Copies of this chain bind each other. A is one copy, B any other.
Amino acid sequence: MKPTAKPIIERGVREQAFTLECEGRVVPAILWTPEAGGSGQPLALLGHGGSQHKRADYILASARRLARDHGIASVAIDAPGHGERADLDTERLGRIDRVWGRAGVVEETIADWRAALDAVQDTLGAGTVGYFGVSMGTMMGVPLIAAEPRIQAAVFGLMGTWSVISQRLADDAARVTCPLRFLVQWDDEVIPRDLAFELFDRLGSKQKSLRAHPGGHLDVPPDEMRAVPEFLASHLG
């Protein structure tokens, strides 16, 4: 965990950019913590969507809300081919297909997230852990949680048994057993709702709920996004 910039302190939230190394890859990341600090506080992993990055508006807003309202730290990483890990070639060819079509990328992403979780827990102490990621954030989160027993609650959504890793998603979904909420956009032009329903159906969690709203892939109501930190907080204690 190597700091790459001075921390930013904003209304009680400390934001620290850093990099970590994982299997030879350099992964840019951000850690947000309540300024008050403390050891063993709950932690949320925030997985951004396709063509976005670790400091996308709603990621930043969620991290600040988690810290301010609930005393929960957050960490976000740039996904392969995204943010500071993007290159012009990726840009040109279309990120999602290009990134997720590459053999081994799912295992790499799992390893990157686990390395981030290890690094943050080394620094902050081990507390409860949650995950929030929609769209490509769910593509990363489902395999991660299937492999990572430390994650105890999740908010997923805007994803289905779709894309180049649909079979992988469908298989891993059955191994996700933590309490979760799943967001669906009724008129999603990227992920047809039937495929989202199928992914929700396959998730192994007994305690799961689906919340759907009218509108397209990018039209999740602001209230629903604001309710995410509250949901995670209710499960991370």
Residues of A with Cβ closer than 8 Å to B? 184, 186, 200-201, 206, 208-214, 221, 224
Chain B residues with Cβ below 8 Å from A221 are: 209
Other-chain contact of A210, B201, B206, B208, B211 (Cβ < 8 Å): B211
Q: A186-B201, A201-B186 are in contact. Are A206 and B214 (CB under 8 A)?
A: yes
Task: For the complex, give the distance between the alpha carbons of A210 and B210 in Å.
Answer: 8
Asked whether B212 lies within 8 Å of A209 as measured between CB atoms, the reply is yes
The 5 closest A-B pairs by CB, nearest first: A210-B212, A209-B213, A211-B211, A209-B211, A208-B214
How far, in Å, is A199 (CB) from chain B's closest CB?
A: 13
Chain B residues with Cβ below 8 Å from A209 are: 211-213, 221, 224
How far, in Å, is A173 (CB) from chain B's closest CB?
A: 14
Chain B residues with Cβ below 8 Å from A210 are: 184, 186, 210-213
Find the B residue at minimum CB distance from A201: B186
Instruction: Provide 19 A-B residue pairs closer than 8 Å at the C-beta atoms, listed in order of the A residue.
Output: A184-B210, A186-B201, A186-B210, A200-B212, A206-B214, A208-B213, A208-B214, A209-B211, A209-B212, A209-B213, A209-B221, A209-B224, A210-B210, A210-B211, A210-B212, A210-B213, A211-B211, A211-B212, A212-B212
Task: For the complex, give the distance between the alpha carbons of A212 and B208 in Å.
Answer: 9
Task: For the complex, give the distance between the alpha carbons of A210 and B208 in Å.
Answer: 14
Task: For the complex, give the distance between the alpha carbons of A81 and B89 in Å.
Answer: 69
Task: For the complex, give the distance between the alpha carbons of A184 and B212 in Å.
Answer: 11
How far, in Å, is A174 (CB) from chain B's closest CB?
A: 14
Chain B residues with Cβ below 8 Å from A200 are: 212
How far, in Å, is A117 (CB) from chain B's closest CB?
A: 28
How far, in Å, is A81 (CB) from chain B's closest CB?
A: 33
How far, in Å, is A195 (CB) from chain B's closest CB?
A: 14
